[in-house]
């Protein structure tokens, strides 16, 4: 049988799950570029200007188009299904 090589550094004590969770949360809270809200904003808005970071970001044209088409479809659905005199 081949021996498995273990390149890990020996630790003084085993960490509990609580300690690992605390370290992970503190690491992720320091990363301001991560998160679902950042992902959704980057999907809907133009990229930020690195030379003028305080400038407001505009909506992407594709996002506005999808939003308009979806709202038009929703309005058509509501109009023809909930207003009986529309037919």
Q: How many domains would you assign to the chain?
A: 1
CB 57 within 8 A of CB 45: yes
Segments forming the whole domain that contains residue 45: 35-86
Flag whether 18 is in a domain: no
Flag whether 75 is in a domain: yes
Quickly state the pLDDT bin for 75 (edges 50, 70, 90): very high
Joined together, the tokens standing for residue 60 give 């992407």
Flag whether 78 is in a domain: yes
Flag whether 46 is in a domain: yes
Residue-wise pLDDT tens digits, 29-68: 888 778 888 889 899 999 988 899 889 999 999 999 999 9
Flag whether 9 is in a domain: no
DSSP assignment of 52-65, as one string? -TTSPPPBPHHHHH
Question: Which class for 42: exposed (0-12), middle (13-18), buried (19 or more C-beta within 10 A)?
Answer: middle
What is the percent of the chain with per-residue pLDDT over 90, rounded to a whole number? 44
């Amino acid at each position: 049988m081949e021996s498995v090589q273990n390149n890990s550094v020996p630790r003084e004590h085993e960490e509990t799950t609580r300690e690992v969770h605390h370290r992970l949360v503190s690491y992720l809270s320091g990363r301001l570029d991560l998160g679902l809200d950042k992902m959704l904003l980057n999907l809907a808005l133009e990229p930020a200007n690195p030379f003028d970071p305080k400038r407001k970001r505009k909506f992407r044209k594709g996002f506005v188009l999808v939003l308009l088409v979806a709202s038009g479809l929703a309005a058509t659905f509501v109009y023809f299904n909930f207003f009986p005199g529309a037919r």
